[in-house]
Structure formats: structure tokens, C-alpha cells
Amino acid sequence: MEVVMSGLMDEREFHIFQLMARMVEMVFNKRDEWDHDDVFLFGKLAKRFNILIEENVGLHACVVTVHNLIHVEEDVFRFSLPDNYWCFAFERAVKKYISIPNNHKNSECSFAKKEQR
């Protein structure tokens, strides 16, 4: 990553970028469940990311979405792991399938037939 980003950002910006990239990797590339160590690691990364953003970019950059990262750790313990409750990638598909008329019996066949058309 350092070679690709060479000269594009200074050392502080690169450190912030690495933290963000690691958090994204943990959320989207983790095939099996998070263990407690993963949850605690994500919490530490999120807190460090927030601190660095505030110190290096300014308080104006700490928008709600950046601030909400620090609550992911407690949300995972309270609700579940990302692979169980983070469904934003599938919301469009769910809306699409809900709108397909069916008789609520063997609905998978109705969806498959609709996809074939």
C-alpha cells in the first residue's frame, strides 16, 4: 500500500488512511465470526481514528458517521456481529423481492421465475 500511495499523502494522513482501511477490511473481509479480540481491536482502531481525525484535520471533520464508529464495539456486544446484523448491502434486493407478487407459498419459485424473465 505504501508504494501505491507514495507521494500522495504525508505520514499522518497515511496513518489515518491505514486505520480506515483496516476497519473496512475487518467489516467486509471477515468470513468467520468476530471473536472478542476482534471486537476490542475494532473499538481501539475506531477510537484512535477519531482522535487522529480531530487532532490532524479538525473538529469540523468529526461528523456523525465518524463519531458513530466508536459505538460499533458496544453495538456488536449488544446486537450481534457485523455478518449477522449489517444488511445494508442487501436492502435493495429485499425491496425488490418484497415487491414481486406471490401467493406466499413456495415464494422462492416465484422469485426465480421472475428472475428468468
User: pLDDT of 57-85, one tens digit each?
Assistant: 777 777 787 888 888 888 888 877 766 55
Q: Where exactly are the structural domains of the chain? A: 2-86
Write down the pTM of the prediction: 0.62
pLDDT at position 45 is: 94
Interval 31-54: pLDDT, tens: 677 888 999 999 999 999 999 988
pLDDT at position 85 is: 55
Alpha helix stretches (DSSP H) within the chain = 11-28, 36-56, 64-68, 72-78, 82-85, 91-98, 107-116
**CA distance to 23, 44, 111, 112, 113, per residue, from 116 (Å):** 38, 47, 9, 6, 5
Distance CA(63)–CA(68), nearest Å, equals 9
pLDDT at position 100 is: 75
